[in-house]
A and B are shown apart, each in its own frame.
Chain A
Amino acid sequence: MSGLLTKTLRDQRRALIGWGIGLAVTALMYAAFYPSVKESAADLNAYLEKLPEALRELLGGDYTSPAGYLRSELFSILGPVLFLVFTVGAGARAIAGEEEDGTLDLLLSTPVRRRHVVLDKFVAMVVTATALAALVWVTVIAVGPPFDLTLPVLDVAAACLMLLLVGTAFGSISLAVGSATGHRALAYGVTGGFAVFSFVVNVLAPAVKALRPLRPLSPFRWYLDPDPLVHGVHAANVVVLVAITIVGLVVALLTFERRDLAA
Protein backbone atom coordinates (compact mmCIF):
# COMPACT_ATOMS: atom_id res chain seq x y z
CA MET A 1 0.00 0.00 0.00
CA SER A 2 1.38 3.41 -0.95
CA GLY A 3 2.17 6.02 1.67
CA LEU A 4 -0.43 8.33 0.19
CA LEU A 5 -3.17 5.70 0.31
CA THR A 6 -2.34 4.99 3.94
CA LYS A 7 -2.43 8.67 4.76
CA THR A 8 -5.70 9.28 2.90
CA LEU A 9 -7.37 6.35 4.63
CA ARG A 10 -6.15 7.62 7.96
CA ASP A 11 -7.54 11.08 7.12
CA GLN A 12 -10.91 9.47 6.43
CA ARG A 13 -10.95 7.57 9.71
CA ARG A 14 -12.88 10.33 11.42
CA ALA A 15 -15.38 10.51 8.57
CA LEU A 16 -15.73 6.75 8.64
CA ILE A 17 -16.58 6.77 12.33
CA GLY A 18 -19.00 9.69 11.98
CA TRP A 19 -20.83 8.41 8.92
CA GLY A 20 -20.69 4.87 10.26
CA ILE A 21 -22.48 5.88 13.45
CA GLY A 22 -24.96 7.94 11.46
CA LEU A 23 -25.80 5.14 9.06
CA ALA A 24 -25.94 2.49 11.77
CA VAL A 25 -28.23 4.60 13.95
CA THR A 26 -30.45 5.29 10.93
CA ALA A 27 -30.70 1.58 10.16
CA LEU A 28 -31.39 0.79 13.81
CA MET A 29 -34.06 3.48 13.99
CA TYR A 30 -35.89 2.13 10.96
CA ALA A 31 -35.68 -1.42 12.31
CA ALA A 32 -37.16 -0.28 15.63
CA PHE A 33 -40.08 1.40 13.86
CA TYR A 34 -40.89 -1.68 11.86
CA PRO A 35 -43.20 -3.48 14.37
CA SER A 36 -45.54 -0.50 14.64
CA VAL A 37 -45.46 0.11 10.90
CA LYS A 38 -46.22 -3.52 10.21
CA GLU A 39 -49.34 -3.37 12.38
CA SER A 40 -50.77 -0.56 10.35
CA ALA A 41 -49.30 -1.73 7.05
CA ALA A 42 -52.69 -2.48 5.59
CA ASP A 43 -53.89 1.04 6.39
CA LEU A 44 -50.69 2.52 5.05
CA ASN A 45 -50.98 0.60 1.83
CA ALA A 46 -54.57 1.69 1.42
CA TYR A 47 -53.48 5.26 2.00
CA LEU A 48 -50.70 4.94 -0.53
CA GLU A 49 -53.13 3.63 -3.11
CA LYS A 50 -54.89 6.97 -3.05
CA LEU A 51 -51.75 9.03 -3.59
CA PRO A 52 -50.69 10.26 -7.00
CA GLU A 53 -48.43 7.79 -8.72
CA ALA A 54 -45.31 9.96 -8.48
CA LEU A 55 -45.64 10.43 -4.75
CA ARG A 56 -46.33 6.76 -4.30
CA GLU A 57 -43.18 5.97 -6.21
CA LEU A 58 -41.25 8.36 -4.00
CA LEU A 59 -42.51 6.74 -0.82
CA GLY A 60 -41.81 3.34 -2.20
CA GLY A 61 -45.12 1.60 -2.10
CA ASP A 62 -45.30 -1.59 -0.14
CA TYR A 63 -45.11 -1.67 3.65
CA THR A 64 -46.38 -5.18 4.23
CA SER A 65 -43.09 -7.02 3.69
CA PRO A 66 -39.75 -6.41 5.40
CA ALA A 67 -38.17 -5.89 1.94
CA GLY A 68 -40.78 -3.31 0.94
CA TYR A 69 -40.41 -1.47 4.22
CA LEU A 70 -36.63 -1.39 4.15
CA ARG A 71 -36.60 -0.32 0.55
CA SER A 72 -39.09 2.48 1.16
CA GLU A 73 -37.45 3.79 4.27
CA LEU A 74 -33.75 3.10 4.39
CA PHE A 75 -32.70 2.55 0.80
CA SER A 76 -34.90 5.05 -1.05
CA ILE A 77 -33.96 8.34 0.48
CA LEU A 78 -32.00 8.62 3.69
CA GLY A 79 -29.47 5.88 2.91
CA PRO A 80 -28.44 7.33 -0.46
CA VAL A 81 -28.44 10.88 0.89
CA LEU A 82 -26.09 10.01 3.75
CA PHE A 83 -23.96 7.90 1.46
CA LEU A 84 -23.71 10.54 -1.25
CA VAL A 85 -22.80 13.27 1.18
CA PHE A 86 -19.78 11.18 2.12
CA THR A 87 -18.69 10.09 -1.37
CA VAL A 88 -19.33 13.42 -3.08
CA GLY A 89 -17.42 15.15 -0.28
CA ALA A 90 -14.51 12.74 -0.54
CA GLY A 91 -14.45 13.17 -4.32
CA ALA A 92 -14.47 16.96 -4.09
CA ARG A 93 -11.80 17.11 -1.40
CA ALA A 94 -9.49 14.59 -3.07
CA ILE A 95 -7.88 16.95 -5.56
CA ALA A 96 -9.80 20.24 -5.55
CA GLY A 97 -9.86 20.40 -1.75
CA GLU A 98 -6.13 19.90 -1.42
CA GLU A 99 -5.51 22.29 -4.26
CA GLU A 100 -7.56 25.05 -2.67
CA ASP A 101 -5.90 24.41 0.69
CA GLY A 102 -2.53 24.71 -1.05
CA THR A 103 -1.28 21.37 0.26
CA LEU A 104 -1.21 19.79 -3.19
CA ASP A 105 1.97 21.68 -4.19
CA LEU A 106 4.10 19.84 -1.68
CA LEU A 107 2.36 16.53 -2.23
CA LEU A 108 3.10 16.68 -5.96
CA SER A 109 6.69 17.74 -5.33
CA THR A 110 7.36 14.24 -4.01
CA PRO A 111 8.21 11.37 -6.38
CA VAL A 112 4.58 10.52 -7.03
CA ARG A 113 2.80 10.82 -10.35
CA ARG A 114 -0.34 12.90 -10.59
CA ARG A 115 -2.32 9.92 -11.79
CA HIS A 116 -1.26 7.94 -8.74
CA VAL A 117 -2.49 10.71 -6.48
CA VAL A 118 -5.89 10.57 -8.20
CA LEU A 119 -5.92 6.77 -8.10
CA ASP A 120 -4.91 6.50 -4.45
CA LYS A 121 -7.53 9.04 -3.43
CA PHE A 122 -10.14 7.22 -5.50
CA VAL A 123 -9.22 3.88 -3.95
CA ALA A 124 -9.38 5.40 -0.47
CA MET A 125 -12.88 6.72 -1.18
CA VAL A 126 -14.01 3.31 -2.44
CA VAL A 127 -12.47 1.48 0.51
CA THR A 128 -14.11 3.77 3.06
CA ALA A 129 -17.45 3.67 1.21
CA THR A 130 -17.22 -0.12 1.14
CA ALA A 131 -16.67 -0.17 4.89
CA LEU A 132 -19.75 2.04 5.32
CA ALA A 133 -21.87 -0.19 3.09
CA ALA A 134 -20.67 -3.27 4.99
CA LEU A 135 -21.64 -1.54 8.22
CA VAL A 136 -25.16 -0.88 6.95
CA TRP A 137 -25.39 -4.52 5.93
CA VAL A 138 -24.21 -5.81 9.30
CA THR A 139 -26.48 -3.43 11.18
CA VAL A 140 -29.58 -4.40 9.23
CA ILE A 141 -29.03 -8.15 9.56
CA ALA A 142 -28.00 -7.85 13.22
CA VAL A 143 -30.68 -5.50 14.56
CA GLY A 144 -33.50 -6.44 12.16
CA PRO A 145 -34.60 -9.85 13.53
CA PRO A 146 -35.46 -8.67 17.08
CA PHE A 147 -37.90 -6.27 15.42
CA ASP A 148 -39.31 -8.89 13.05
CA LEU A 149 -37.40 -7.28 10.22
CA THR A 150 -35.92 -10.50 8.89
CA LEU A 151 -34.51 -10.57 5.38
CA PRO A 152 -32.26 -12.93 3.45
CA VAL A 153 -28.69 -11.95 4.27
CA LEU A 154 -27.66 -11.98 0.62
CA ASP A 155 -30.54 -9.75 -0.48
CA VAL A 156 -29.56 -7.16 2.10
CA ALA A 157 -25.98 -7.49 0.86
CA ALA A 158 -27.21 -6.91 -2.69
CA ALA A 159 -29.00 -3.72 -1.66
CA CYS A 160 -25.93 -2.51 0.24
CA LEU A 161 -23.80 -3.26 -2.81
CA MET A 162 -26.10 -1.13 -4.97
CA LEU A 163 -25.96 1.63 -2.35
CA LEU A 164 -22.17 1.45 -2.52
CA LEU A 165 -22.17 1.55 -6.31
CA VAL A 166 -24.52 4.49 -6.64
CA GLY A 167 -22.48 6.28 -3.98
CA THR A 168 -19.15 5.71 -5.71
CA ALA A 169 -20.66 6.68 -9.08
CA PHE A 170 -21.52 10.13 -7.72
CA GLY A 171 -18.23 10.27 -5.79
CA SER A 172 -16.41 9.61 -9.02
CA ILE A 173 -18.30 12.39 -10.81
CA SER A 174 -17.37 14.73 -7.99
CA LEU A 175 -13.73 13.63 -8.25
CA ALA A 176 -13.82 14.31 -12.01
CA VAL A 177 -15.23 17.83 -11.65
CA GLY A 178 -12.78 18.65 -8.86
CA SER A 179 -9.81 17.23 -10.76
CA ALA A 180 -10.71 19.03 -13.95
CA THR A 181 -11.35 22.42 -12.39
CA GLY A 182 -9.61 22.55 -9.03
CA HIS A 183 -12.70 24.08 -7.46
CA ARG A 184 -14.17 22.22 -4.51
CA ALA A 185 -17.44 24.18 -4.42
CA LEU A 186 -17.96 23.53 -8.11
CA ALA A 187 -17.46 19.79 -7.57
CA TYR A 188 -19.99 19.81 -4.73
CA GLY A 189 -22.43 22.00 -6.66
CA VAL A 190 -22.33 20.23 -10.01
CA THR A 191 -22.47 16.76 -8.48
CA GLY A 192 -25.07 17.69 -5.88
CA GLY A 193 -27.22 19.36 -8.53
CA PHE A 194 -26.92 16.37 -10.80
CA ALA A 195 -27.82 14.05 -7.92
CA VAL A 196 -30.99 15.97 -7.10
CA PHE A 197 -31.91 16.15 -10.80
CA SER A 198 -31.26 12.42 -11.21
CA PHE A 199 -33.29 11.58 -8.16
CA VAL A 200 -36.27 13.66 -9.21
CA VAL A 201 -36.19 12.38 -12.78
CA ASN A 202 -36.05 8.81 -11.58
CA VAL A 203 -38.97 9.27 -9.20
CA LEU A 204 -41.19 11.25 -11.53
CA ALA A 205 -40.45 9.46 -14.80
CA PRO A 206 -43.04 6.69 -14.27
CA ALA A 207 -45.75 9.33 -13.88
CA VAL A 208 -44.50 12.09 -16.14
CA LYS A 209 -44.23 10.98 -19.72
CA ALA A 210 -41.96 13.85 -20.79
CA LEU A 211 -39.28 12.77 -18.33
CA ARG A 212 -39.14 9.18 -19.47
CA PRO A 213 -36.40 9.62 -22.09
CA LEU A 214 -34.21 11.21 -19.41
CA ARG A 215 -34.58 8.39 -16.96
CA PRO A 216 -31.71 6.23 -18.24
CA LEU A 217 -29.39 9.19 -17.62
CA SER A 218 -30.19 9.06 -13.93
CA PRO A 219 -27.77 6.87 -11.97
CA PHE A 220 -30.65 6.23 -9.56
CA ARG A 221 -32.47 4.47 -12.38
CA TRP A 222 -29.84 1.75 -12.08
CA TYR A 223 -29.94 1.53 -8.34
CA LEU A 224 -33.13 -0.15 -7.01
CA ASP A 225 -34.92 -1.33 -10.11
CA PRO A 226 -35.36 -4.31 -10.10
CA ASP A 227 -35.36 -4.35 -6.32
CA PRO A 228 -32.19 -6.02 -4.99
CA LEU A 229 -33.97 -6.77 -1.70
CA VAL A 230 -36.27 -9.07 -3.63
CA HIS A 231 -34.33 -10.14 -6.70
CA GLY A 232 -30.72 -9.88 -5.56
CA VAL A 233 -28.02 -8.32 -7.70
CA HIS A 234 -29.03 -7.34 -11.21
CA ALA A 235 -25.93 -7.55 -13.36
CA ALA A 236 -26.90 -4.84 -15.86
CA ASN A 237 -27.38 -2.31 -13.07
CA VAL A 238 -24.00 -3.13 -11.63
CA VAL A 239 -22.42 -2.70 -15.05
CA VAL A 240 -24.00 0.72 -15.62
CA LEU A 241 -23.06 2.11 -12.20
CA VAL A 242 -19.52 0.74 -12.42
CA ALA A 243 -19.22 2.21 -15.92
CA ILE A 244 -20.24 5.67 -14.65
CA THR A 245 -17.65 5.33 -11.90
CA ILE A 246 -14.93 4.36 -14.35
CA VAL A 247 -15.78 7.19 -16.75
CA GLY A 248 -15.58 9.66 -13.86
CA LEU A 249 -12.22 8.26 -12.80
CA VAL A 250 -10.82 8.37 -16.32
CA VAL A 251 -11.98 11.97 -16.81
CA ALA A 252 -10.33 12.85 -13.49
CA LEU A 253 -7.07 11.18 -14.51
CA LEU A 254 -6.92 12.76 -17.96
CA THR A 255 -7.92 16.29 -17.00
CA PHE A 256 -5.73 16.49 -13.91
CA GLU A 257 -2.70 15.29 -15.86
CA ARG A 258 -3.00 18.11 -18.34
CA ARG A 259 -3.52 21.26 -16.39
CA ASP A 260 -1.67 23.78 -14.23
CA LEU A 261 -2.18 23.66 -10.50
CA ALA A 262 -3.66 26.78 -8.99
CA ALA A 263 -1.12 28.79 -7.04
Chain B
Amino acid sequence: MAGVIAAEHLTKYYGRSRGVEDLSFEVAAGEVFGFLGPNGAGKTTTIRTMLDLIRPTRGRIQVFGLDPRTRGPQVHARIGYLPGELALYERLTATQYLDAFASFRGGVDPAFVRELAERLGLDLSRKISALSHGNKQKVGLVQALMHRPELLVMDEPTQGLDPLVQQQFYAILDEARERGTTAFLSSHVMPEVERICDRVAIIREGRVVTVSDIGDLKARALRRVEFHFETSVNGASFDALESVVAVEAHGDTVLLTVRGPLDEVIKEAARHTVVNVTTHEPSLEDIFLEVYRNGGEAP
Protein backbone atom coordinates (compact mmCIF):
# COMPACT_ATOMS: atom_id res chain seq x y z
CA MET B 1 0.00 0.00 0.00
CA ALA B 2 1.21 3.49 -0.80
CA GLY B 3 2.05 5.72 2.13
CA VAL B 4 -0.39 8.07 3.77
CA ILE B 5 1.62 10.89 2.27
CA ALA B 6 3.69 10.37 -0.86
CA ALA B 7 5.69 13.17 -2.44
CA GLU B 8 7.21 12.48 -5.83
CA HIS B 9 9.69 14.99 -7.21
CA LEU B 10 7.60 17.72 -5.63
CA THR B 11 8.81 21.08 -6.87
CA LYS B 12 7.35 24.47 -6.12
CA TYR B 13 8.55 27.81 -7.35
CA TYR B 14 6.97 31.16 -6.48
CA GLY B 15 7.71 33.01 -9.67
CA ARG B 16 11.47 32.57 -9.79
CA SER B 17 12.06 32.07 -6.10
CA ARG B 18 12.47 28.56 -4.82
CA GLY B 19 9.95 26.92 -2.52
CA VAL B 20 10.98 23.28 -2.67
CA GLU B 21 12.98 21.38 -5.27
CA ASP B 22 12.49 17.77 -6.32
CA LEU B 23 11.23 16.53 -2.97
CA SER B 24 10.46 12.82 -2.62
CA PHE B 25 9.47 11.05 0.56
CA GLU B 26 6.79 8.78 1.90
CA VAL B 27 5.03 8.68 5.25
CA ALA B 28 3.67 5.28 6.29
CA ALA B 29 0.38 4.75 8.11
CA GLY B 30 0.72 5.11 11.86
CA GLU B 31 4.11 6.76 11.96
CA VAL B 32 5.02 10.12 13.35
CA PHE B 33 7.13 11.79 10.73
CA GLY B 34 9.26 14.80 11.52
CA PHE B 35 10.10 17.42 8.95
CA LEU B 36 13.16 19.18 10.24
CA GLY B 37 14.79 22.23 8.80
CA PRO B 38 15.62 25.85 9.42
CA ASN B 39 13.16 28.62 8.63
CA GLY B 40 12.82 29.16 4.91
CA ALA B 41 13.87 25.61 4.03
CA GLY B 42 10.52 24.77 2.43
CA LYS B 43 8.62 23.07 5.28
CA THR B 44 5.57 25.29 5.05
CA THR B 45 5.57 25.09 1.25
CA THR B 46 5.46 21.29 1.41
CA ILE B 47 2.67 21.31 3.98
CA ARG B 48 0.57 23.78 2.02
CA THR B 49 0.75 21.62 -1.11
CA MET B 50 -0.62 18.68 0.92
CA LEU B 51 -3.72 20.76 1.65
CA ASP B 52 -4.02 22.14 -1.87
CA LEU B 53 -3.57 25.69 -0.60
CA ILE B 54 -0.84 25.99 -3.21
CA ARG B 55 -0.20 23.84 -6.28
CA PRO B 56 3.05 22.12 -7.25
CA THR B 57 5.06 23.56 -10.13
CA ARG B 58 6.23 20.04 -11.00
CA GLY B 59 5.93 16.61 -9.46
CA ARG B 60 3.09 15.69 -7.17
CA ILE B 61 2.03 14.94 -3.66
CA GLN B 62 -0.64 12.44 -2.74
CA VAL B 63 -2.46 12.06 0.54
CA PHE B 64 -4.29 8.80 1.27
CA GLY B 65 -3.48 7.94 -2.34
CA LEU B 66 -5.59 10.88 -3.51
CA ASP B 67 -4.64 14.06 -5.30
CA PRO B 68 -5.53 16.95 -2.95
CA ARG B 69 -6.06 19.12 -6.01
CA THR B 70 -9.04 17.17 -7.25
CA ARG B 71 -10.17 15.38 -4.10
CA GLY B 72 -9.75 18.22 -1.62
CA PRO B 73 -12.82 17.66 0.57
CA GLN B 74 -12.24 13.90 0.88
CA VAL B 75 -8.61 14.53 1.87
CA HIS B 76 -9.39 17.42 4.19
CA ALA B 77 -12.06 15.46 6.06
CA ARG B 78 -9.34 13.06 7.23
CA ILE B 79 -6.70 15.68 8.11
CA GLY B 80 -6.25 17.86 11.16
CA TYR B 81 -4.17 20.86 10.16
CA LEU B 82 -2.31 23.40 12.21
CA PRO B 83 -0.70 26.16 10.13
CA GLY B 84 2.67 27.63 11.01
CA GLU B 85 1.35 31.14 10.94
CA LEU B 86 -1.87 30.65 12.78
CA ALA B 87 -4.59 33.24 12.09
CA LEU B 88 -7.96 32.84 13.81
CA TYR B 89 -11.20 34.80 13.68
CA GLU B 90 -10.28 37.32 16.35
CA ARG B 91 -13.81 38.53 17.02
CA LEU B 92 -15.11 35.13 18.05
CA THR B 93 -14.68 33.44 21.39
CA ALA B 94 -12.74 30.18 21.41
CA THR B 95 -16.04 28.30 21.77
CA GLN B 96 -17.64 30.12 18.85
CA TYR B 97 -14.54 29.51 16.75
CA LEU B 98 -14.43 25.80 17.48
CA ASP B 99 -18.21 25.49 16.98
CA ALA B 100 -17.86 27.11 13.57
CA PHE B 101 -15.08 24.71 12.56
CA ALA B 102 -17.03 21.78 13.97
CA SER B 103 -19.92 22.79 11.70
CA PHE B 104 -17.57 23.03 8.68
CA ARG B 105 -16.54 19.47 9.48
CA GLY B 106 -20.09 18.21 9.91
CA GLY B 107 -19.97 18.04 13.70
CA VAL B 108 -17.51 16.75 16.30
CA ASP B 109 -17.76 15.22 19.77
CA PRO B 110 -18.20 18.21 22.13
CA ALA B 111 -16.98 16.19 25.11
CA PHE B 112 -13.66 15.62 23.34
CA VAL B 113 -13.32 19.34 22.60
CA ARG B 114 -13.82 20.11 26.29
CA GLU B 115 -11.33 17.42 27.26
CA LEU B 116 -8.67 18.77 24.90
CA ALA B 117 -9.22 22.34 26.08
CA GLU B 118 -9.01 21.26 29.69
CA ARG B 119 -5.82 19.30 29.22
CA LEU B 120 -4.12 22.13 27.37
CA GLY B 121 -5.40 24.64 29.91
CA LEU B 122 -7.45 26.70 27.46
CA ASP B 123 -10.29 28.92 28.65
CA LEU B 124 -12.90 28.45 25.93
CA SER B 125 -15.11 31.35 26.98
CA ARG B 126 -12.58 34.05 26.15
CA LYS B 127 -12.51 36.12 23.02
CA ILE B 128 -9.69 35.11 20.71
CA SER B 129 -8.43 38.66 20.33
CA ALA B 130 -7.84 38.68 24.10
CA LEU B 131 -5.77 35.48 24.08
CA SER B 132 -1.98 35.32 24.32
CA HIS B 133 0.04 33.80 21.50
CA GLY B 134 0.33 30.53 23.40
CA ASN B 135 -3.40 30.37 24.06
CA LYS B 136 -4.20 31.03 20.42
CA GLN B 137 -1.88 28.16 19.57
CA LYS B 138 -3.97 25.98 21.90
CA VAL B 139 -7.13 26.94 20.00
CA GLY B 140 -5.32 25.92 16.82
CA LEU B 141 -4.32 22.60 18.34
CA VAL B 142 -7.83 21.80 19.57
CA GLN B 143 -9.16 22.72 16.15
CA ALA B 144 -6.72 20.29 14.52
CA LEU B 145 -7.36 17.43 16.95
CA MET B 146 -11.07 17.69 17.75
CA HIS B 147 -12.42 15.56 14.90
CA ARG B 148 -9.96 12.74 15.66
CA PRO B 149 -8.42 12.87 12.19
CA GLU B 150 -6.48 9.98 10.67
CA LEU B 151 -3.65 12.32 9.76
CA LEU B 152 -2.28 15.28 11.66
CA VAL B 153 -0.37 17.86 9.66
CA MET B 154 1.17 20.39 11.97
CA ASP B 155 3.58 23.18 11.15
CA GLU B 156 5.69 23.93 14.23
CA PRO B 157 2.99 22.72 16.64
CA THR B 158 4.63 23.70 19.92
CA GLN B 159 5.63 27.25 19.09
CA GLY B 160 4.55 29.61 21.81
CA LEU B 161 3.58 26.84 24.25
CA ASP B 162 5.19 26.75 27.66
CA PRO B 163 7.05 23.54 28.56
CA LEU B 164 4.28 22.01 30.67
CA VAL B 165 1.73 22.50 27.91
CA GLN B 166 4.22 21.07 25.42
CA GLN B 167 4.41 17.91 27.54
CA GLN B 168 0.62 17.76 27.61
CA PHE B 169 0.57 18.08 23.82
CA TYR B 170 3.13 15.27 23.48
CA ALA B 171 0.92 13.08 25.68
CA ILE B 172 -2.14 13.85 23.54
CA LEU B 173 -0.08 13.06 20.46
CA ASP B 174 1.05 9.75 21.96
CA GLU B 175 -2.57 8.79 22.59
CA ALA B 176 -3.50 9.71 19.04
CA ARG B 177 -0.63 7.56 17.82
CA GLU B 178 -1.93 4.64 19.87
CA ARG B 179 -5.25 5.02 18.02
CA GLY B 180 -3.32 4.63 14.78
CA THR B 181 -3.10 8.30 13.83
CA THR B 182 -0.37 9.27 11.40
CA ALA B 183 1.37 12.57 12.01
CA PHE B 184 3.49 14.88 9.92
CA LEU B 185 5.12 17.53 12.07
CA SER B 186 7.53 20.22 11.05
CA SER B 187 10.06 21.63 13.44
CA HIS B 188 13.27 23.56 13.48
CA VAL B 189 14.48 22.10 16.77
CA MET B 190 16.09 18.68 17.03
CA PRO B 191 15.11 17.77 20.62
CA GLU B 192 11.42 18.04 19.85
CA VAL B 193 11.74 15.82 16.81
CA GLU B 194 13.76 13.33 18.86
CA ARG B 195 11.08 13.25 21.52
CA ILE B 196 8.07 12.61 19.33
CA CYS B 197 9.04 11.30 15.89
CA ASP B 198 9.76 7.84 14.53
CA ARG B 199 11.39 9.07 11.37
CA VAL B 200 12.64 12.39 10.22
CA ALA B 201 13.31 14.08 6.92
CA ILE B 202 15.88 16.81 7.09
CA ILE B 203 15.23 19.57 4.63
CA ARG B 204 17.54 22.35 3.69
CA GLU B 205 17.25 25.00 1.00
CA GLY B 206 14.25 23.27 -0.52
CA ARG B 207 15.75 19.81 -0.77
CA VAL B 208 15.53 16.72 1.37
CA VAL B 209 19.01 16.10 2.70
CA THR B 210 18.23 12.82 4.37
CA VAL B 211 15.36 10.68 5.61
CA SER B 212 16.25 8.46 8.51
CA ASP B 213 15.05 6.73 11.64
CA ILE B 214 15.35 8.92 14.64
CA GLY B 215 17.47 6.23 16.31
CA ASP B 216 20.04 6.30 13.50
CA LEU B 217 20.18 10.02 13.59
CA LYS B 218 20.75 10.04 17.32
CA ALA B 219 23.40 7.38 17.05
CA ARG B 220 25.24 9.36 14.44
CA ALA B 221 24.63 12.75 15.93
CA LEU B 222 27.61 14.76 17.01
CA ARG B 223 27.45 16.25 20.48
CA ARG B 224 29.75 18.65 22.20
CA VAL B 225 30.71 17.69 25.73
CA GLU B 226 32.68 19.93 28.03
CA PHE B 227 34.38 18.51 31.13
CA HIS B 228 35.72 20.70 33.86
CA PHE B 229 38.16 18.75 36.03
CA GLU B 230 39.72 19.57 39.37
CA THR B 231 43.22 19.34 37.92
CA SER B 232 44.83 19.66 34.53
CA VAL B 233 44.08 16.69 32.29
CA ASN B 234 45.84 15.55 29.16
CA GLY B 235 43.35 15.24 26.30
CA ALA B 236 45.24 12.42 24.59
CA SER B 237 43.46 9.66 26.56
CA PHE B 238 40.12 10.90 25.16
CA ASP B 239 41.50 11.11 21.65
CA ALA B 240 42.06 7.38 21.70
CA LEU B 241 38.37 6.64 22.25
CA GLU B 242 36.43 5.45 19.22
CA SER B 243 33.44 7.76 19.74
CA VAL B 244 35.53 10.89 20.07
CA VAL B 245 35.88 12.90 16.89
CA ALA B 246 37.82 15.88 18.19
CA VAL B 247 39.49 16.98 21.42
CA GLU B 248 40.47 20.39 22.69
CA ALA B 249 42.21 20.57 26.07
CA HIS B 250 42.94 23.80 27.91
CA GLY B 251 44.35 23.15 31.38
CA ASP B 252 41.56 21.66 33.49
CA THR B 253 38.96 21.95 30.73
CA VAL B 254 38.45 19.40 27.99
CA LEU B 255 36.07 20.02 25.10
CA LEU B 256 35.09 16.92 23.15
CA THR B 257 33.13 16.32 19.98
CA VAL B 258 31.48 12.94 20.36
CA ARG B 259 29.51 10.78 17.97
CA GLY B 260 26.80 8.53 19.38
CA PRO B 261 26.52 7.31 22.98
CA LEU B 262 28.52 9.05 25.69
CA ASP B 263 29.26 5.92 27.71
CA GLU B 264 32.97 5.58 26.79
CA VAL B 265 33.62 9.23 27.36
CA ILE B 266 31.93 9.30 30.76
CA LYS B 267 33.90 6.26 31.92
CA GLU B 268 37.18 7.79 30.78
CA ALA B 269 36.33 11.10 32.47
CA ALA B 270 35.42 9.31 35.69
CA ARG B 271 39.07 8.37 36.15
CA HIS B 272 39.61 12.02 37.09
CA THR B 273 37.78 14.25 39.54
CA VAL B 274 34.97 15.88 37.60
CA VAL B 275 33.81 19.32 38.75
CA ASN B 276 31.27 19.93 36.06
CA VAL B 277 30.04 18.56 32.75
CA THR B 278 27.92 20.26 30.14
CA THR B 279 26.64 18.77 26.91
CA HIS B 280 25.29 20.66 23.97
CA GLU B 281 22.59 19.23 21.75
CA PRO B 282 23.77 19.15 18.19
CA SER B 283 22.54 22.18 16.32
CA LEU B 284 20.82 21.74 12.99
CA GLU B 285 23.98 22.99 11.32
CA ASP B 286 25.99 20.27 13.08
CA ILE B 287 23.54 17.66 11.83
CA PHE B 288 23.66 19.00 8.28
CA LEU B 289 27.45 18.97 8.31
CA GLU B 290 27.40 15.44 9.59
CA VAL B 291 24.91 14.34 6.96
CA TYR B 292 26.91 15.99 4.20
CA ARG B 293 30.05 14.29 5.38
CA ASN B 294 28.25 11.03 4.82
CA GLY B 295 27.52 11.97 1.24
CA GLY B 296 23.98 13.17 1.96
CA GLU B 297 22.63 9.66 2.47
CA ALA B 298 21.40 7.93 5.56
CA PRO B 299 23.57 4.90 6.40
Question: Could you tell me which A residues sit within 8 Å of B by CB distance?
Answer: 3-4, 6-7, 11, 101-103, 105-114, 260-261, 263
- Closest Cβ–Cβ distance, residue A9 to chain B (whole Å): 12
* Distance in angstroms between the alpha carbons of A7 and B92 in the assembled complex: 10
Are A109 and B103 in contact, CB atoms less than 8 angstroms apart? no
How many A-B pairs with Cβ below 8 Å?
69
Are B87 and A103 in contact, CB atoms less than 8 angstroms apart? yes
Are A112 and B104 in contact, CB atoms less than 8 angstroms apart? yes
Check B106 for interface membership: any CB of A closer than 8 A: yes
Among A7, A105, A263, contact of B100 (Cβ-Cβ < 8 Å): A7
Are B73 and A109 in contact, CB atoms less than 8 angstroms apart? no
Are A106 and B76 in contact, CB atoms less than 8 angstroms apart? no
Return chain B residues, CB-CB under 8 Å to A113.
Answer: 72-73
Are A111 and B101 in contact, CB atoms less than 8 angstroms apart? no
Return chain B residues, CB-CB under 8 Å to A108.
Answer: 51-53, 76
Check B79 for interface membership: any CB of A closer than 8 A: yes
- Closest Cβ–Cβ distance, residue B173 to chain A (whole Å): 19
Are A101 and B87 in contact, CB atoms less than 8 angstroms apart? yes
Are A107 and B53 in contact, CB atoms less than 8 angstroms apart? no
User: Interface size (B, Cβ < 8 Å)?
Assistant: 30
Are B83 and A111 in contact, CB atoms less than 8 angstroms apart? no
Which B residues between 151 and 204 are near A, CB-CB below 8 angstroms? none
- Closest Cβ–Cβ distance, residue A18 to chain B (whole Å): 14
Are A106 and B85 in contact, CB atoms less than 8 angstroms apart? no
Are B104 and A103 in contact, CB atoms less than 8 angstroms apart? no
Return chain A residues, CB-CB under 8 Å to B87.
Answer: 101-103, 105-106
What are 8 contact pairs spanning A and B, CB under 8 A? A101-B87, A106-B81, A106-B140, A106-B143, A110-B105, A111-B76, A111-B105, A261-B54
Among A103, A107, A260, A263, contact of B55 (Cβ-Cβ < 8 Å): A260
Check B77 for interface membership: any CB of A closer than 8 A: yes
Closest residue of B by beta carbon distance from A259: B55
Are B104 and A3 in contact, CB atoms less than 8 angstroms apart? yes
- Closest Cβ–Cβ distance, residue A7 to chain B (whole Å): 5
Return chain B residues, CB-CB under 8 Å to A102.
Answer: 83, 85-87
Using A3-B104, A101-B87 as known contacts, list a sample of 19 further A-B pairs with CB atoms less than 8 Å apart, ordered by residue number in A: A3-B103, A103-B87, A105-B83, A106-B81, A106-B83, A106-B87, A106-B143, A107-B104, A108-B51, A108-B53, A109-B83, A110-B105, A111-B105, A111-B106, A112-B73, A112-B76, A112-B104, A113-B73, A263-B48
Task: Annotate B70-113 by CB proximity to A: 1 below 8 A, 0 otherwise.
Answer: 00111011010101011111010000000011011110000000
Among B53, B77, B105, contact of A105 (Cβ-Cβ < 8 Å): B53
* Distance in angstroms between the alpha carbons of A211 and B197 in the assembled complex: 69
